[in-house]
Amino acid sequence: MTAALTIDGIGVAFAGFKAVDGVSLVIEEGELRVLLGANGAGKTTLMDLVSGRTRATEGHVFLYDREITNRDEHQIARAGLGRKFQIPSVFKELSVRANLEVASCRNPHVFANLRFGFSRAQRRRVDEVLALIDLGDTADQPAANLSHGQTQWLELGMLIVQDPKVLLLDEPTAGMTQAETHKTAEIIKSLRGQHSIIVVEHDMAFVREIAERITVLHLGRVLAEGDLASIETNEDVRRAYLGAAAGHG
Amino acid sequence: MLEIIFIGLSVGSILLLVALGLAITYGAMGVINMAHGEMVMLGAYTTVMAGIWLHLGFLASIPLAFVVTALVGLAIERVVVRRLYGRLLDTLLATWGIAILLQQAVRLEFGLSFFGKHIRGLGPGLQNVTVPPALTGAIMVGGEDVNVYRLFIIGVTAALTALTWFIMYRTDIGIQVRAIMRNPRMAAACGVNVQRINALTFAYGSGLAGIAGVMMSGFKTVFPDMGTSMVVDGFLVVVVGGVGSLLGAVFSAGLLGQVDGSVASLTNDVLARAVVFGLVILIIVIRPTGLFSFKGR
Amino acid sequence: MTIQRRLDYLCYAIFIVAILLVPLLLGDFWINRMSKFLVYGMLGVAVSLCWGYAGILNLGQGLFFGAGAYMLAMSLKLLSNTSMQQGSDTPVPDFMLWNAQPGAPTELCCINHGSWLWLPFQSQWFGILMGILLPVTLALILGLIVFRKRIAGVFVSIITLALVLLVRLVLIDAQPLTNGFNGLTDLGTLTILGYQFDAYGLGTYYLIAVSLALVLIGARMLVETRAGLILQAIRDDQNRVRYLGFDVPVYQLFFFTVSAGIAGYAGMLYVVAAEFASPTFMDLAYSITMVVWAAVGGRASLLGACIGAILINIVAATVSETQSFMEAWKAVIGLVFVLVVLYLPRGLAGLASDIGERIEARAAARAATGSQAAAMVAASRRAP
């Protein structure tokens, strides 16, 4: 097996507070990893560090053999790492199809894009993804008209069009109905094998549906790693996360 | 040296006088009110008109100008600004339209000049205001001649700044304004009547501009376009200081005033303004959020 | 191609034919006026490209317009008779001689500090070249700093506003070089391949009309490219575009610079039609007025913004025959502007497209029977 994403001892401190403190993770090619952790455990910050939003003060990140530590966001994205945000962000004034077309531009340079239309291969890819995320009927409507769930799928679709090596999905089911959550799980499962995926999630039903391996973060450190059963029976995790979750409920 | 510092202080206090109202409307409400300069203009004209028609003295015009401009501000908020919350650039453009309207209203004497009727004190011409003799002349401070009227402006600015600080940080209304500043939706959820507070804030900010207008009328000629350059200066002060920061506005008005004053004494007024603009661009580029800023929403 | 887009292209075609035919109906005086208004139309295109498509509200568009205008005006000034009658072999601007120190040399190289900057402008082509190059370079430098620092929204507006006022003051302060407040007047005539572009002639009108047509078509083509699509995506959500792997500042910079180039070109054309260049081009009011035109016409429509600029000016010129009417017109503009922002945020172009859609839907309803069928047709119209 080859490692698709290697996070090696990464960390960052905000005004002395270590939000992520020396986290190491290895995601194998084609693996689907779920990241768990209570609020403030450092999940989103970890995503920020990997995707270039936040600069790391220590450690390294590799995408396959290539070091991407502290590169600009667009460089990391071009290297093959796609990220979906917690609050879905799409281009509201553009049509659903145009949203995907923007993502399908292979060459990021402005002068390379001074041309009209898209190649047949690109259009086919956009159609495929439209079918996958089930937005074929609304392809020509502005993205602003989509429901919350559909918007999430569209953003997911934009990443899929790009065919990234590694996908970071930050709470892809946030705010979704049960049916929508289920469908999202289907989409993510269909990507398994072709992409290496990290999913940050709170919804345990969803996690049970998709999870193979789980990593639990707590206070900026890796608390435990293993399959679903071992995590659910892990005493540390119970105390740190499930206990906290019970406290919420 | 002392003289230059004093001139800077005096320029800075005028800047702050104009910027104070903007700091509140922009900071608290996220509204770029391009008609703010016209509020200053209306304040100045209120002084002119009060002198001609009501035989009110200069000092008595201060509360009157506050009331007049606050009411105009209230009307603008009710009719236009209220519909545009959250659309920052649109408010900028709409209030620009209002600014032109107000200028033309004064210049055309509310349209009466079409019918050959003229109101003394209005119209396209220049107006002047007489300042009470007690506020003219100079006194000796520390071996230097100091212009009394400039001293008066510094005093009024300090008093208004203190009053604004008191309202913002020591009253119930102030805490509601600050809540809206940070997060209007949350404030509304906590029972703050956001619409009412916004209207009051806007009226207060406009009223402050009106007082600034009275002060201006004491040492500048009064004419319909006088507000245009002031609103720009005011914004630069607010943006450099950091949106929503009263302390920032005070500090940046002081800074820009000193720079303007000292460059002007070395070269000329035009270059001094150019240097101030350059400095402002530099500061915004280096610190887009301003010198004193908090993370708001 | 959708019907909507076909109608859109039809409007472009009608507009271009219209501006080419208009001189048949007008006398010399109005031809000159229309020449200027078409230049304003070009400014509308520049503003719409920058504001409507890139989402950058540049309140200093006058900087680029003025830069273009001054560059050409400097060349034309040296071509003017007024620069020739000074007893020197080479032309020297008359105001420089008026302002010269007693006993100063009367040669352009050294009449005052900095007058040598005028030397290359003895060639008209240098002025023309700089008329594009200077605004583009300014935009590149400004954009590079602003967009790399991820400065956005109102802060860009304030920086551009402060910059145009800064340049205006420097221009006024450099009175010996620029003639200060008075600007450059008494200009010579632009001559290309032996043809003289007289401000009141048809030649100038067609130079401007054809330029506008080309700029309009070019800008439209630009926003139809993939890059244009990406630009609109950036306007909607910068961050998302960044995380899709695009270098956002480069795109913003590109379109900002193109917009500046158009404004600079417009500035040059304005000098040809108006025969002067003045610091008023860099007044705050001038730059905001351009934005007003674009907003009234429709910021998100290149053609709409262009027509908005032309229409407002035609109406203004028609009603403002007397001074007091002109002042009243300003008040009307203020009012119109408030109303447009409040009730027509997409401007006249938005209104036109809404009306077009409604007519289309009604026609479809008449063709089909029953309201449900009509809705289906209306829906299928949206499909490619």
Q: What is the pLDDT of residues B101-126, one digit of tens each?
A: 999 999 888 877 777 777 777 878 78
Chain B residues with CB inside 8 Å of C154's CB? 32, 88-89, 92
Chain C residues with CB inside 8 Å of B232's CB? 161-162, 165, 284
The answer to whether the CB atoms of A140 and C383 lie below 8 A apart is yes
The pLDDT score that the predictor gives to residue C383 is: 45
Rounded to whole angstroms, the Cα distance separating C304 from B296 reads: 37
pLDDT-based confidence at residue C71 (cuts at 50, 70, 90) = very high
DSSP classification of residue A136: G
Count of the separate structural domains present in chain C: 1
The answer to whether the CB atoms of A108 and C247 lie below 8 A apart is yes
Average pLDDT over residues C359-376: 65
Rounded to whole angstroms, the Cα distance separating B94 from B80 reads: 8
For residue A134, the enclosing domain spans 3-248
Average pLDDT, chain B: 87
DSSP classification of residue C225: S
C297 in any annotated domain: no
The answer to whether the CB atoms of C229 and A98 lie below 8 A apart is yes
Chain A residues with CB inside 8 Å of C258's CB? none
Q: Which of A77, A94, A110 sits opposite C232 (nearest CB)?
A: A94
Distance from CA of B69 to the nearest CA of C (A): 19
C353 in any annotated domain: no
Average pLDDT, chain A: 87
The answer to whether the CB atoms of C170 and B104 lie below 8 A apart is no
B233 in any annotated domain: no
Rounded to whole angstroms, the Cα distance separating A166 from C141 reads: 36
Among A53-57, B290-294, C76-80, C245-249, which is the least confidently predicted range? Answer: B290-294
Burial class from Cβ neighbours inside 10 Å (0-12, 13-18, 19+) for residue A5 reads buried
pLDDT at C344 over 60: yes
Helix (H, G, I), strand (E, B) or coil at A88: coil
Rounded to whole angstroms, the Cα distance separating C263 from C376 reads: 45
The answer to whether the CB atoms of C153 and B288 lie below 8 A apart is no
The pLDDT score that the predictor gives to residue C369 is: 55
B81 in any annotated domain: yes
At position B296, the amino acid (one-letter code) is G
Percent of chain B exceeding pLDDT 70 equals 98
pLDDT-based confidence at residue A244 (cuts at 50, 70, 90) = low
B95 in any annotated domain: yes
**CB of B32 within 8 Å of any CB in chain C?**
yes
pLDDT in tens, B9-44: 888 998 898 999 888 888 777 788 899 999 999 999
Q: Determine the residue among A105, A141, A159 to mutate to test chain C binding: the one whose Cβ has the most chain C Cβ atoms within 10 Å.
A: A105
Distance from CA of B89 to the nearest CA of C (A): 7
Alpha helices in B183-244 (DSSP H): 184-189, 194-219, 227-241
pLDDT at A21 over 50: yes
pLDDT in tens, B199-242: 999 999 999 999 999 998 888 889 998 888 888 889 889 888 88
Q: Determine the residue among A72, A113, A122 to mutate to test chain C binding: the one whose Cβ has the most chain C Cβ atoms within 10 Å.
A: A113
Going from the C-alpha of A156 to that of each of A48, A86, A182, A197, C304, the distances in angstroms are 18, 11, 15, 12, 35
Please name every residue paired with A200 in a beta bridge, in sequence order, or none if there are none.
A35, A170
Q: Which residues contact C38 (CB under 8 A, 6 or more apart)?
A: C19, C205, C208, C209, C212, C310
> At residue A172, what are phi and psi to the nearest 5 degrees?
-70, -15
pLDDT in tens, C262-285: 999 999 999 999 999 999 999 988
* Chains C+A touching (3+ CB pairs under 8 Å): yes
Count of the separate structural domains present in chain A: 1
pLDDT in tens, B53-91: 888 888 889 999 999 999 999 999 999 988 888 788 888
pLDDT at B296 over 50: no
The answer to whether the CB atoms of A93 and C236 lie below 8 A apart is yes
pLDDT-based confidence at residue A208 (cuts at 50, 70, 90) = confident
Strands B138-141 and B144-147, sheet pairing: antiparallel
CB B274 within 8 A of CB C173: yes
The pLDDT score that the predictor gives to residue A248 is: 42
The pLDDT score that the predictor gives to residue A190 is: 86
pLDDT at C373 over 60: no
C384 in any annotated domain: no
Among A62-66, A191-195, C372-376, which is the least confidently predicted range? Answer: C372-376
Q: Which residues contact B149 (CB under 8 A, 6 or more apart)?
A: B131, B135, B136, B218, B219
The pLDDT score that the predictor gives to residue C150 is: 87
The pLDDT score that the predictor gives to residue A110 is: 87
pLDDT at C325 over 80: no
**CB of A89 within 8 Å of any CB in chain C?**
yes
Distance from CA of C159 to the nearest CA of B (A): 6
Percent of chain C exceeding pLDDT 70 equals 93
Average pLDDT over residues C63-73: 96
Nearest CA in chain B to C329: B104
Rounded to whole angstroms, the Cα distance separating B244 from B24 reads: 7
Strands A66-67 and A58-63, sheet pairing: antiparallel
Distance from CA of A237 to the nearest CA of C (A): 32
**CB of A108 within 8 Å of any CB in chain C?**
yes
Rounded to whole angstroms, the Cα distance separating B268 from C172 reads: 12
Among A225-229, B290-294, C96-100, C255-259, which is the least confidently predicted range? Answer: B290-294
CATH code assigned at A133: 3.40.50.300
Q: Which residue has the tokens 């399959």?
A: A227
pLDDT-based confidence at residue C370 (cuts at 50, 70, 90) = low
pLDDT at B297 over 70: no
pLDDT at A31 over 80: yes
Angle between helices C124-148 and C248-274 (to 10 degrees): 150
Average pLDDT, chain C: 87
The pLDDT score that the predictor gives to residue C14 is: 95
Nearest CA in chain A to C222: A114
pLDDT at C380 over 70: no
CB C290 within 8 A of CB C47: yes
The pLDDT score that the predictor gives to residue C211 is: 96
**CB of B81 within 8 Å of any CB in chain C?**
no
pLDDT at C368 over 70: no
pLDDT in tens, C163-221: 999 999 999 988 888 888 899 988 888 888 888 888 888 899 999 999 999 999 999 99
Count of the separate structural domains present in chain B: 1
Rounded to whole angstroms, the Cα distance separating A234 from A23 reads: 19
* Backbone Cα Rg of chain C: 23
Chains in touch with B (≥3 Cβ pairs < 8 A): C
For residue C261, the enclosing domain spans 19-283
Q: Which of B93, B235, B274 sits opposite C158 (nearest CB)?
A: B235
Chain C residues with CB inside 8 Å of A74's CB? 242-248
The pLDDT score that the predictor gives to residue C87 is: 62
Rounded to whole angstroms, the Cα distance separating C265 from C65 reads: 7
* Chains A+B touching (3+ CB pairs under 8 Å): no
pLDDT-based confidence at residue C382 (cuts at 50, 70, 90) = very low
The answer to whether the CB atoms of A74 and C382 lie below 8 A apart is no
Percent of chain A exceeding pLDDT 70 equals 96
The pLDDT score that the predictor gives to residue A247 is: 40
CB B43 within 8 A of CB B65: yes
